Structure 1
Amino acid sequence: MHVLVPMDYSELSKEALRTAVTVHAGADITVLHVLDWHTSDRGPGGWGDTPDEFDQWLEGAKERADELFAEARSIADEHDAEVATETIVGDDAKQIVRYAEDHEIDLIVMGSHSRSLPARILLGSVSETVVRRAPVPVTVVR
């Protein structure tokens, strides 16, 4: 079994990983972090006039992802599990679904949300979109 755990910096995504390594012990688990400039603190259109600004953001986002992956490996180690890690750039929900389609994923385990209520209303819930569009079962951790 191959389990995909999309992670951001929320406690719910960490709880989703704990659930995956506990309930699906022995499964291949991939932690996926999507670098989505739409949800970045810089926001859409906040890149200025030069492509270098986006490149700098991307480099910083990848460095932060490495820190997230270190934490994910630590969580996995606590449960005598191993995780593979992947980073991709794009829209959160679309990239999670695409990854599941392209990598023979059997199950997605993810946190229910990480944004504030106003952001979820305006932007939609990533987990809700994944549940509706994923080609495999999705376990949503609350």
Structure 2
Amino acid sequence: MANQILVPFDGSPQAQEALEYSFETFPSATVTALYVVTVPEGYWAAFGSDETITPAIGRATENGETILEDALALAEAVDHDLETDLVIGEAHNEIIAYADEGAYDTIVMGSHGRDGISRILLGSIAEAVVRRAPVPVVVVR
């Protein structure tokens, strides 16, 4: 049985379902909700400067903190403890590194919310995590 569960949490319905699944499936595990503030890289970074990117990261960090407060409220509603953390970087890389460094047993994450033929595909972040994670990944749809 898993003792340490990492749930990448962005406030989406899929992330909320992943968090609820973690509480139900691993009732005695320590669950951590992780929010990743994405920083523009490569091509997109060329359109910004320190003067524009730094304030945007500050606003995104504040938004992430609010989203994590929602995760804490969800945990409180089902009487489960929840740890939270916020990191800055490229989402899939940060999730993988966090899971590896934190000695997590399992990552539980939501799939991308799509309909029709595209629903058979994972979201790009979920797919990258599934392919590269050092631990088992449960994708909740």
Task: State whether TM-score is above 0.5.
Answer: yes
C-alpha separation in 1, matches of 2:89 and 2:108: 19
Amino acid in structure 2 at the alignment position of 1:17: L
C-alpha separation in 2, matches of 1:5 and 1:37: 20
1:82 maps onto 2:81 in alignment:
yes
Question: What are the equivalent positions in structure 2 for 1:1-142 lying under 5 Å apart?
Answer: 1-38=3-40, 44-45=44-45, 47-48=47-48, 50-114=49-113, 125-142=124-141
Amino acid in structure 2 at the alignment position of 1:44: W
Amino acid in structure 2 at the alignment position of 1:6: P
Q: In structure 2, what is the equivalent of residue 121 of structure 1?
A: none
> Once superposed, which parts of structure 1, at least 4 consecutive aligned residues long, lie more than 2 Å away?
45-48, 114-117
Amino acid in structure 1 at the alignment position of 2:18: A
Q: Mind listing any 5+ residue stretches in structure 2 that lack a counterpart?
A: 117-122
C-alpha separation in 2, matches of 1:135 and 1:87: 20
Amino acid in structure 2 at the alignment position of 1:9: G
Q: Mind listing any 5+ residue stretches in structure 1 that lack a counterpart?
A: 118-123
TM (norm. structure 2) is: 0.85
Deviation at 1:69, TM superposition (A): 0.8
TM (norm. structure 1) is: 0.84
Q: 1:91-119: per-residue Cα shift (whole Å, max 9, x none)?
A: 111111111110100000000125899xx
Identity of aligned residues (%): 35
Q: 1:110-130: per-residue Cα shift (whole Å, max 9, x none)?
A: 00125899xxxxxx6111111
C-alpha separation in 1, matches of 2:68 and 2:115: 24
SS at match of 1:110: strand
